[in-house]
Amino acid sequence: MAKKASADNAETAEVPEAKAEGKAAEGKAKGKPAEGKAQEGKPSAEGKAPKEGKEKKPREPKVKEVAAEAAPAAEAKKPEAAAADAAPSGPKQRGKRCGVPPARGKKLRAHLKNLQNKIEKEGIAPLKRAITLLKQMKRSKFDETVEVHMWLGVDTAQSDQLIRGTVSLPHGIGKSVRVLVFCQAENVAKAKEAGADYAGSDEFIKKIQSENWLEFDVALATQDMMGQVSRLGKMLGPRGLMPTPKAGTVITGDVAAAVKEFKAGKVEYRTDKGGNVHAGVGKMSFDEEKLAQNITAFVDQVKSVKPSGVKGNYVKSITLCSTMSPGIPVQM
């Protein structure tokens, strides 16, 4: 009996050991399959038979032609890059933007602000007082042009309210005007005697058409030449040089008198889209009395051609200024 009990105890002790060994074997099998199973489930590379049908082609290398074409271009760029590297790196310059004026300095901003405050404090000034203020504002080295700007109460959409004409200033505008006269026969000699820079007919028409020649400030034409001069409308019209009866540049009377008027300082004016009229009436070097007479002659001429269809105030404002100064409101 004792022997039998000891045998039973040995068997029970062997059973847990066997179970532990079985569990360890199962864990190994889960983590890494046995070699036999691997051989059964997946056939070896040596035993694999090649598939029938489409065969896998080896990948072709990238196109070498593109690289071959790019190589000469890269070689050509190398000298340029080397030259750029060799160039001395100077201070970086600010790029200029088209249509944007350069920044004003601190002193200039302060000066313009003082002028503006002075004009606002003065208010709408009489003509002589405005001319005195204008001369005090001169700051440029060159002889500035004195300008008059008039805001008119006209409707530019109505053709009968458009204003255009010429006025002869008593003391000129202080500028040499180059005059071209389209005329024939004896009028050529008369125009040149009166001071015209150029006078003729077909030769100047051909020169303008073929060479785009525009070395003149005013173009005049006699009535008999308008048929030929009309061919230049596309070239002279956009530049404001085309002779027209409204501007007084078509000569119907004495050629010499017309040339003398424009050489002395006959000013052409016309309304823009905003109903404004602009004109240069002299230079800053003129005496105050001469400037006052020129300005008065121009304003009186514009007032005299008031259209009949205008209602309300015809002249809304008059402003006097020079090339480099702010505008001064004037009462006339």
Q: Are residues 227 and 294 in the same domain?
A: no
Cβ(256)–Cβ(193) below 8 Å: yes
**Residue length, the chain?**
332
Beta strands, E only, the chain: 125-126, 145-152, 164-168, 179-182, 198-200, 218-222, 250-251, 266-270, 276-283, 315-322, 328-331
DSSP structure string for 133-155: HHHHT---SS-PEEEEEEEE---
Does some domain include residue 29?
no
Q: Is 328 helix (H, G, I), strand (E, B) or coil?
A: strand
**pLDDT the model gives residue 245:** 86
Last residue of a domain, one of 263, 297, 324: 263
Q: Is 164 helix (H, G, I), strand (E, B) or coil?
A: strand
Q: Are residues 314 and 246 in the same domain?
A: no
Does some domain include residue 153?
yes
Residue type for 329, please? P
**pLDDT the model gives residue 60:** 58
Token pair belonging to 142: 């060159």
Kindly state the greatest CA–CA separation across the chain: 167
Q: Are residues 283 and 171 in the same domain?
A: yes
Q: Are residues 188 and 238 in the same domain?
A: yes
The predicted model scores a pTM of 0.58
Q: Are residues 237 and 286 in the same domain?
A: no
- Candidates 222, 259, 221, 224; CA nearest to 241 is 221
- Candidates 280, 267, 278, 290; CA nearest to 168 is 267
Q: Are residues 269 and 171 in the same domain?
A: yes
Last residue of a domain, one of 232, 263, 294: 263
**pLDDT the model gives residue 57:** 61
Does some domain include residue 57?
no
Q: Are residues 171 and 186 in the same domain?
A: no
**pLDDT the model gives residue 52:** 52
**pLDDT the model gives residue 172:** 83
Token pair belonging to 115: 């002028």
Q: How far apart are CA 221 and CA 250, in angstroms?
A: 5
Does some domain include residue 136?
yes
Q: Are residues 183 and 318 in the same domain?
A: no
* Residue 301 belongs to domain spanning: 122-175+265-332
- Candidates 46, 294, 286; CA nearest to 170 is 294
Q: Are residues 239 and 220 in the same domain?
A: yes
Tell me the backbone φ, ψ of residue 208, rounded to 5 degrees: -70, -40
Q: How far apart are CA 227 and CA 246, in angstroms?
A: 17
Q: Are residues 199 and 259 in the same domain?
A: yes
Cβ(156)–Cβ(273) below 8 Å: yes
Name beta bridge partners: 165. Answer: 269
**pLDDT the model gives residue 185:** 84
Q: Are residues 184 and 326 in the same domain?
A: no
Does some domain include residue 114?
no
Does some domain include residue 296?
yes
Q: Per-residue confidence of the chain (332 residues) as pLDDT tens digits?
A: 444 444 444 444 444 444 545 554 454 444 444 444 444 444 444 444 445 555 666 665 554 454 445 455 555 544 554 444 444 555 555 666 787 877 878 888 887 888 888 888 888 889 999 999 998 888 888 889 999 999 999 988 888 888 888 888 888 888 788 899 999 888 898 999 988 889 988 889 999 988 888 888 889 999 888 888 888 888 888 888 888 887 788 888 888 888 888 887 788 888 998 899 999 999 999 999 999 999 999 999 999 989 888 888 899 999 999 988 888 999 87
Q: How far apart are CA 284 and CA 78, in angstroms?
A: 59
Q: Are residues 292 and 234 in the same domain?
A: no
**pLDDT the model gives residue 95:** 61
Token pair belonging to 144: 């500035």
Distances (CA, A) of 259 to 122, 174, 180, 189, 223: 42, 16, 9, 12, 15
**pLDDT the model gives residue 262:** 84
CA dihedral 125, 127, 132, 133 (to 10 degrees): 40
Residue type for 69, please? E
CATH number at residue 196: 3.40.50.790
Tell me the backbone φ, ψ of residue 282, rounded to 5 degrees: 150, -170
Last residue of a domain, one of 221, 247, 263: 263
- Candidates 212, 175, 211, 214; CA nearest to 198 is 214
**pLDDT the model gives residue 112:** 81
- Total domains in the chain come to 2
Instruction: Compute the 3-state secondary structure of the chain and give helix, strand, coil in percent, each to the nearest 5.
Output: 45, 15, 40
Instruction: Identify the DSSP state of 159.
Output: G
